[in-house]
Structure 1
Amino acid sequence: MSNSNLTSAINNPITEDDIANYLANTPDFFERHAEMLAAVQLTSPHSQRAVSLQERQANMLREKIKMLELRIMDMIRNVNENMVLSDKLLQWARTLFLNTDPATLPDLMADELADQFAVPQVGIKVWGVDEAYASAPFAQGVSDDAMLFASSLTEPFCGVNTGLEAINWLPDPKAVASLAILPLRAGPIGSMAPAFGLLVLASPDAQRFNSTMGTDFLARVAELASAALSPLR
């Protein structure tokens, strides 16, 4: 090796990246040097002992299979939970559709929600109703601010109890730690029509209706409730 090449080699030593790039771009290297693969020893991730490359790869595959199995079990569990929720939602909707007395519908709706979905407290208020129902308890005791707040909600609100007016519609407001507030309005989910009611779900568990939970299911409940209550208007 010439002095210039030697100097260049010293000043620019081969790095691990150089070796990795060479092997990545020379796929037949280990075909020509197959004995090297059998001689490679790596540290086991589960102990300090050295294992062969084949054993290390087998361990990695077992870990990947285990992770996939866990993901599949999570998917199956989620599917089962969704099926249970769907069945309960259908039972709730069926009860509402079979009701023939609009005046009893709000209380029936709240009671069935509490029963089907194990919600400790459920409250409901409806305004702008027909004169025949204007004196009913569900149509009384709602301030203009509460009506404006309901119309401002574009989707169900979930979070901790901050003393909103709506908790006073519940049997035991002091026991509320978290709540879900569902605006009731005409039209499909996402409609910007003014709200004509609020459905309140409450729990003493601060995490039952937390601010990070998804609201798609609650939005469906609100849409069905809004449609069912249309005879009151």
Structure 2
Amino acid sequence: MTLQPGITEQEIANYLANTPAFFERHAELLASVQLTSPHGQRAVSLQERQMEMLRERIKAQEQRAVEMIRHGNENLAIADRLHRFTCELLRVDTPDTLPEVVVRAARHQFMIPQATLRLWGVRAELATRAYAQDVSDDLRAFVTSMGQPYCGVNAGFEAVGWLAEPTQVASVAMVPLRQRGAESSFGLLVLASPDATRYTADMGTEFLQRLGEACGSALGRLLPPAAA
């Protein structure tokens, strides 16, 4: 079909959209119009093409629903693990064992190959503990400047060197530890994996932020009274 000069396809589309009675007056067009099916080169009627489009939309909606259910189940599982992790921290009677519990529980609950942490500014009697080993001023400043956890490739971070097998780390999550409402940090939790896709720059960090808040609140018991 060749359009008459001055008549555009958009004008025809607008006319048909605004004049539904046209198809009542010319019902035979619905059966006679032939379109090419996207599922082959066969010709189908307008009604058949509409049914195909409807089936495709329903299928797409079903797929979205399945994805929403899957994500919901994953989020529920993560929330359950975080709850169990927090309960483990609450059951600790001896504050000095908290760092070990945090690392062990994080690895177990979240299936993390390697994890560790460092704290600074702890009470004087705890200064010789492994978790209180000295860290550089640059790292302390970096951690304090972190507005949210870091997720991404291992770029040779100082903190990765705290792990038992730093050469096996492809991706890492670093979670700053601070008291609720405090601007400065007093520690860093490191979660590492040999899988380069485990922690990526585009992943959400809300879960890690909550994990950091739970750890920060628990580990604050190791700080001097003035800092806690």
Q: Is TM > 0.5 for Structure 1 vs Structure 2?
A: yes
2 CA distance for matches of 1:54 and 1:172?
A: 64
Name which one, 1 or 2, has greater alpha-carbon Rg: 1
Correspondent of 2:189 among 189, 199, 221: 199
1:121 Cα shift? 0.6
1:13 Cα shift? 4.5
Tell me if 1:21 matches 2:14. Answer: yes
1 CA distance for matches of 2:88 and 2:11?
A: 71
Q: How does 1:1-233 map onto structure 2 within 5 Å?
A: 12-187=5-180, 191=181, 193-233=183-223
What SS does the corresponding residue of 1:99 show, helix, strand or coil?
coil
Instruction: List gaps (5 residues or longer) in structure 1.
Output: 1-8
2 CA distance for matches of 1:214 and 1:200?
A: 17
Match of 2:226 in 1: none
Q: Give the letter aligned to residue 49 of structure 1.
A: R
Q: Give the letter aligned to residue 59 of structure 1.
A: E
1:18 Cα shift? 3.0
What SS does the corresponding residue of 2:104 show, helix, strand or coil?
helix
CA contact (8 A) 1:122 1:200 kept: yes
What SS does the corresponding residue of 2:174 show, helix, strand or coil?
strand
CA contact (8 A) 2:118 2:131 kept: yes
1 CA distance for matches of 2:53 and 2:96?
A: 64
CA contact (8 A) 2:169 2:194 kept: yes
The TM-score with structure 2 as length reference comes to 0.93
CA contact (8 A) 2:118 2:132 kept: yes
Structure 1 residue ranges, 4+ long, deviating more than 6 angstroms after superposition: none
1:41 Cα shift? 1.3
1 CA distance for matches of 2:81 and 2:10?
A: 58
Q: Identity percentage over the alignment?
A: 52
Cα deviations across residues 73-119 of structure 1 (Å, max 9, x unaligned)? Answer: 10111111111111111111101100011111101100110111111
1:25 Cα shift? 2.9
